Chains A and B, each alone.
Chain A
């Protein structure tokens, strides 16, 4: 149930409306937008509740939420959500500036991480990615350096000022990863790991939730709903390609998911063109398509020497390729009504 308030409704009235809804056993979430203030109520809503709340002073309308994603849906928020990962505009998801996260698939060592971070920052990326714990299809593949990689990430974060995005695979690692990184990523294979989602709902850190390789848009939204329902409102959704009959690409980038998600949810939506295409030469065109379709940002794999990468080398860009992509991205960003920080400006800041 969503309560829209009349313009100019005072705090005492808002308090009374929330108290009434909460006394009916509902949980209330208030958001103030530029043009309206709303209270989203979730719980076991009964038809009578609408009337019990509807008559209170300050209430303009009360409507039932018909979508299963009650908190993630547009109806539950007064505007689009901006998720802050760090201090500058380049470290926000969902604002006017495009969020660009770049870095190696896996953290393979301190030197390569530092080298990549400096290169992606110089090219205009606002955040650093890097895997410490890697869920690999085969147990014999490189599974990440674990805690050591987290320490490298924290060190490079200090040196470069770039907020860090890294994956958390297990509920037991949540506090550990939160102790080193700014944004906690849930990988595609864990999108419906509900215990993990609930745990991430309890801590107050941005969560980057990647779409499962065979998950529908509605399943992705409901996965986000698990995090939101447990109290964390900072969720970023990520389209990274889905499994189809097509084998020419690693996955099939579902470009249409971007506008569909943007219409359904107030949460920021970003795209991972590296995993979607699976080949370095596809990263730029898929990134351009994503931004043209309205994505709030990109997460891109960059490795100083892709041919030597321990994982995902074939889809990683070298630093010069990433810099070229960023330069060519600008007109697409501008056409989509977005800004992209100038590399030089970012470097000076």
Chain B
């Protein structure tokens, strides 16, 4: 690979690393909000899992993904993971 090519690759990788940092920061923020939701639900005597809400979150995210040209199935899988992560965080709240 040429020196110019290597520099471009490095630059792109640095961009990906910055985005990963943002993604993790956003996930942490989402988990923290989910913990607050968990505390509110407990105070109200509601169950931790709200199936309709989870399904709606996944559906909404999937339609956003479609709008920006991402593979819907892949995004759906990621969203289910995120939803599961946040539900488990509610248990700890």
Q: Which residues of A contact B (CB under 8 A)?
A: 84, 86-87, 154, 157, 161, 163, 175-176, 178-182, 202-205, 231
Contact = CB atoms under 8 A, between A and B. Distances in A.
Interface residues of B, number: 19
B52 A231 contact: no
B27 to A, nearest CB: 14
Contact of B47 (A87, A175, A176, A231): A87
A175 B51 contact: no
B91 A84 contact: yes
Contacts of B59: 175
A342 B84 CA distance: 31
A163 B87 CA distance: 15
B31 interface: no
Given A84-B91, A161-B47, A175 B81 contact: no
A181 B87 CA distance: 15
22 contacts: A86-B49, A87-B47, A163-B47, A163-B49, A175-B55, A175-B58, A175-B59, A178-B51, A178-B55, A179-B54, A180-B51, A180-B52, A181-B51, A182-B49, A202-B76, A202-B77, A203-B84, A204-B81, A204-B83, A204-B84, A205-B84, A231-B77
Given A202-B77, A203-B80, A204-B87, A179 B56 contact: yes
A154 B51 contact: yes
Contacts of B51: 154, 178-182
Given A182-B51, A204-B85, 14 more contacts: A86-B47, A86-B48, A86-B49, A154-B51, A161-B47, A175-B59, A178-B51, A179-B51, A179-B52, A202-B77, A204-B80, A204-B83, A204-B87, A205-B84
Instruction: Identify which of A161, A202, A203, A205 gathers the most chain B CB atoms within 10 Å of its CB.
Output: A203
Interface in B43-84: 47-49, 51-52, 54-56, 58-59, 76-77, 80-81, 83-84
